[in-house]
Amino acid sequence: MSPPKRGVVYLVGAGPGDPGLLTLKAARVLRSADVLVYDYLAAAPIVALAPPDCERIYVGKKAGAHTMPQDEITALIARLGAEGKRVVRLKGGDPFVFGRGGEEATALREAGVAFEIVPGITSAIAAPAYAGIPVTHRDHNTSFVVATGHEDPTKAASSLDFAKLANPAQTLVLLMAMGNLREIAEQLQAHGLSGETPVAIVREGTKPQQQTLIGTLATIASDAERAALGAPAIVIVGSVVREREHIRWFDTSPLFGKRVLVTRPAASAGDFAARLWEAGAEPVLAPVITIEPPDDPHAAEDAIARVREYDWAVFTSTNGVDAFFNGLARRRWDARRLGDVRVAAIGPVTADALAARGVHADYMPPQFVSEEVAAGLLERTAPGDRILLFRAQEARDVLPGTLRAQSRVVDVVAGYKSVVRDDPHIAELAEDCDVWTFTSAGIVRAFLANVPGAETMAGERTVACIGPITADAARAGGLDVDVVALDYTVEGLVEALLAASRTEQDAASR
């Protein structure tokens, strides 16, 4: 009889909001979690890293609205750990920077439950950085202090030492201070700080919704009230705030704050979404298709088994690569099964997927369309050569037709198929976005099937396509296409969106 499974609770810092700031260790423990207990400030793409079968428990706390009291959260994670589960307690920022992680760790120790701490990037330094405000700068200060503006309400009196906090030679960073901002500003002035001391409020720091308000100690409370600026936000007090004028960067991106609809399958949307986050946009995931096995899986299995009979194997997408190598794995084979078969990849992402499996593409066309692939393969093959085209079930017939016309023997094998998702929420998401993106003709058609009246709705939005074939499908569906990537990759699509947005900004400033 095997010994009972030993549980462990990971107190994990999710960082300030931008998923790209999550640590590698945090991502690793998330991917192995049995249960995820997460806060309001944990970004959706980070929560999505947990396995599909992971139990997710939301315990978010916002000012004045607690889903679950802290003592119940602590009891919950202790019980789950005692049951032998791998529990990730996911907190915004860092668990030990006003995250009550110390209290939870103590309770776990007292309960005899194993735990580990995974630090995260605190908003105390990340939010100022994304606002272009360095918390230390040799021309301004010799130290910085992080304090809470919301102390334990059961305490008889505040323990904040305003005499020490009111130091013009240091930067003061206040977390959870919006509810007491006016009183804090008054206390700092009463203890010697000038009313002209620069102050910044950064709301939703590191996110596409980030807002930055600049004022002075004398005006900031009234400024925040007029701007209706509330939590979650941090407050930065000190002359370093003036540096924002010179090194502001995140909220100057031409895509900053725009909501971008990502319609590609969920499994392949991650890189695209991450790139949009980096550009200051908010990716809204609305997959309109799912990837499923083909109608005739036996044909794919047979082609995989006979792959050495071919001179070339051609992969048109990462989905095809995944399907092929999953088929090899089912037979307990690996890349060695390809032997001396030459391999072609349509695009760098497909080539990278092959390289990750130890296969370096012998040919990748300069443009990622069937006509270019056909021309390149004809140059590299001779009449009678056998070519395996492992692709989507619904793909176009241009490539095999062109090759067969030149006496190449082509076996077209469906490694997978794209199935349209029927989801009424897609139309709601599309209406709430500024930009729609499409990465294949099939995705365009699936989107139109889900969004009645898309032609009219598109008039107020930017429609961006990964290449001319996708753009033609969008136009055929009644959409006016605004942006077409010259490089037919998601990276190229983001660059094309950035360029178009810069042009719009330049035109508006004239």
Q: Which residues are catalytic?
A: 39, 61, 176
Rounded distance, CA 416 to CA 290, Å? 10
162, with CB counted inside 10 A (0-12, 13-18, 19+), is middle
Q: How many of the other CB atoms lie within 10 Å of CB of 397?
A: 10
Sign of the Cα pseudo-torsion (446, 451, 455, 457, in order): negative
The whole-angstrom separation of Cα 51 and Cα 47 is 9
What single string gives the DSSP state of each residue in 307-359? GGG-SEEEE-SHHHHHHHHHHHHHTT--GGGGTT-EEEESSHHHHHHHHTTT-
Looking at residue 422, what DSSP letter applies?
-
Backbone angles phi, psi at 313, to 5 degrees: -120, 125
Pairing of strands 65-66, 61-62: antiparallel
| Alpha carbons 506 and 48: distance in angstroms, whole number | 37
**3 state DSSP class of 436:** strand
- Edge-to-edge strand ranges of the sheet holding 409-420: 289-292, 409-420, 386-392, 312-315, 342-345
Residue partners of 18: CB distance under 8 A and separation at least 6: 43, 126, 130, 206, 207, 277
Cβ atoms of 295 and 414 within 8 Å: the answer is: yes
Q: What is the DSSP letter of 50?
A: S
Closest CA to 21 of 151, 163, 120, 91: 120
Q: Which of 206, 257, 256, 250 is nearest to 18 (CA)?
A: 206
Residue 32, Cβ neighbours under 10 Å: how many?
12
Which of 219, 388, 245, 400 has the alpha carbon at shortest distance from 320? 388
Residue 23 DSSP code: -
Helix ranges (H only) for 364-484 are 370-380, 398-405, 425-431, 441-450, 454-457, 468-476
- Region for 132 from its dihedrals, namely left if φ exceeds 0, alpha if ψ lies in -120 to 50, beta otherwise: left
